[in-house]
Homo-oligomer: A and B are copies of this chain.
């Protein structure tokens, strides 16, 4: 209709800058992100050491292509400054930061360490993919609606971890000084237990510590599981409302 006609005119008028809304362009970017992530993983395999040269070429290709994408996105953004400092603008920038190692004096002066961290930044390229997940907007909106509750639950969970660590330290520090000798050490136990991961590298052995764990586990495990349920509920509700509005609109027209 009128709308699509306008878009087409826009594309014609804007020329190169319209490309960022082109489907094929976006599919290529998605494939590049995926390829970049796979290459990052495979690079660490010592068995693929012999293909090192090809990984280097792939890496430079990704860097160049993502840089072109970044420039195009800035060029085609209505408000260039707003885009650069938006979430996606910053992610796009971080994705090409490893190219900074080319600037002489930055990659060489502070030595290998900065280089390694800069190269490791490539891992965040995966965030570029969030641009293409359709339901993410709705999820962020749902997140926004319960942000007060989520903040409260995060604070309460942190308090739970703190109190659990302090408590188990009190009970176990004498029996197992290597695992519970300080509160920061005990915090590792608190995290592993309250998330119910329970690796089994640390666990209480004294009767007091076990009774304390029983209470902490039953309360804390429940507390830490609430945010997931909350987000699930809000997501469902958001979906219901959306459908009700659609029905409402249909009835009106």
Contacts and interface: CB of A to CB of B under 8 A. Distances in A.
Interface of A: 37, 40-41, 44-46, 120, 123, 126-127, 129-130, 133-136, 138-139, 145-146, 148-149, 151-152, 155-157, 159, 162-163, 165-167, 169-170, 173, 181-184, 187-188, 191-193, 195-201, 203, 210, 213-214, 217-218, 221-237, 239-240
Contact of A133 (B145, B155, B222): B155
Interface SS of A by simple majority: helix
Contact of A226 (B188, B214, B231): B231
A215 to B, nearest CB: 9
A198 B192 contact: yes
Given A199-B200, A201-B200, A182 B149 contact: no
B183 A41 contact: yes
A213 B200 CA distance: 15
A148 B126 contact: no
B149 A133 contact: no
A204 to B, nearest CB: 9
Contacts of A193: 197
B152 A136 contact: yes
Given A152-B139, A183-B44, A191 B213 contact: yes
A41 B133 contact: no
